[in-house]
Amino acid sequence: MKFKNTTGHKVKVRIDTEKPPYWRTVNPNEVIEIPESYGLRLGFTKLKVTEGKSGTKKIETKQFERVEPSPEFNKKLLKIKGIGTKTVKDIVNVYKSEAELRKAIKKKLKLPFRDDIEMILKKRFR
């Protein structure tokens, strides 16, 4: 899946599709093809590709789907003891809503956070 680095700074990305795996630096606003879960964990924005027409020619356009997290979800996370603003920002980069987080917990997926944060979230959002 294609992602755009919208973090505002350079990010090192591990590319495992080739042997041997290697590290690549992704500059701000650069587009890269990586697995969906990895791109979301890094805080990149999904690149939505659609087809359109310009006269008689078919062209490919790129659009960004930006889903803003709900302020209620942010407030809920901030009220949890042991979770601060930076951790809330990390959580919201991966899970845009409480429903997404609950779904991941119900599927018993490994959350991409420290073990103590993962335990707190699993207790709170069962």
pLDDT digits (tens, 9 = 90+) for 3-28: 888 888 899 998 887 788 889 999 88
Q: Which residues contact 74 (CB under 8 A, 6 or more apart)?
A: 88, 92
Predicted confidence (pLDDT) per residue in 56-102, tens digit: 666 666 555 566 777 888 899 999 998 998 999 888 888 888 888 99
> Looking at the 3D structure of the chain, how many domains does it have?
2
Last residue of one domain, picked from the residues 64, 85, 115? 64
Q: Do the beta carbons of residue 9 and residue 28 sit within 8 Å?
A: yes
Task: Answer with the one of 64, 91, 112 that is the final residue of a domain.
Answer: 64
Last residue within a domain, chosen from 38, 64, 90? 64
> What is the domain range of residue 40?
2-64
Q: Is the peptide bond before 21 cis (omega within 30 degrees of 0)?
A: no
Residue 35: other Cβ atoms inside 10 A: 12
Assess whether 49 and 102 both reside in one domain.
no
DSSP 18: S
